């Protein structure tokens, strides 16, 4: 096959409909826009406008509140930490920087929070921004310690 022999599959490319090109085109005169009115003009963007009727997004009730300065934590489960310790990617003294270095956490964001999913068998000393109560219990049950930064313990 040569470059000049390349062709698209039959029916794959359809030619663009040329509107307002005479009555024989089937889209002549008004080009399918109808007669007069806002939408027959160019440069019209009326998304969400309902002709003066109260738009749907205004008729529906609004609820809740999104806190603009909320903290976003990188979340890591105990089972994954144990897996990385077994694979010798993490030591027994675990900090947030060590978690990032090992690749378990991509970035710290506002801190790392440890959750209790999975089992811990190794005796770990973990120092992070936040942790669930169940995670702290699980680590202490395995003989380790989980220290949470004072700022996050609200």
In the predicted structure, residue 154 carries a pLDDT above the cut 50:
no
| CATH code for the domain in which residue 98 is found | 3.100.10.10
Nearest in space to 110 (alpha carbons), one of 66, 151, 65, 139: 151
In the predicted structure, residue 150 carries a pLDDT above the cut 70:
no
CA atoms 10, 14, 15, 20: torsion sign: positive
In a domain, 35, yes or no: no
Cβ-proximal residues to 31 (8 Å cutoff; 6+ apart), any chain: 19, 20
Domain count, the chain: 1
In a domain, 52, yes or no: no
For 102-121, the pLDDT digits (tens) are 888 999 889 999 999 988 88
In a domain, 116, yes or no: yes
How many whole angstroms separate alpha carbon 153 and alpha carbon 131?
9
In a domain, 134, yes or no: yes
pLDDT at position 67: 92
Q: Could you tell me which residues are beta bridge partners of residue 131?
A: 114
In a domain, 88, yes or no: yes
Mean pLDDT over 46-74 rounds to 91
Task: Band the pLDDT of 9: cuts 50, 70, 90.
Answer: very high
Q: Which domain holds residue 80?
A: 74-148
In the predicted structure, residue 85 carries a pLDDT above the cut 60:
yes
How many whole angstroms separate alpha carbon 98 and alpha carbon 101?
5
In a domain, 153, yes or no: no
Q: What is the pTM of this model?
A: 0.55
pLDDT at position 151: 57
In a domain, 56, yes or no: no
In a domain, 112, yes or no: yes
Mean pLDDT over 69-98 rounds to 90
């Amino acid at each position: 096959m040569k470059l000049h022999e390349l062709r698209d599959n039959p029916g794959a490319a359809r030619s663009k409909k040329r509107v307002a090109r005479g009555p024989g085109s089937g889209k002549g005169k008004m080009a399918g826009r109808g007669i007069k009115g806002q939408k027959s003009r160019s440069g019209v963007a009326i998304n969400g406008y309902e002709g003066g009727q109260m738009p749907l997004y205004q008729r529906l009730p609004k609820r809740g509140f999104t806190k603009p300065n909320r903290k976003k934590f990188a979340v890591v489960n105990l089972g994954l930490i144990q897996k990385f310790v077994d694979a010798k990617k993490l030591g027994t003294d675990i900090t947030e920087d060590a978690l990032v270095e090992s690749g378990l956490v991509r970035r710290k964001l506002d801190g790392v929070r440890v959750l209790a999913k999975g089992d811990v068998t190794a005796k770990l000393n973990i120092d992070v921004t936040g942790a669930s109560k169940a995670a702290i219990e699980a680590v202490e049950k395995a003989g380790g310690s989980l220290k949470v930064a004072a700022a996050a313990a609200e």
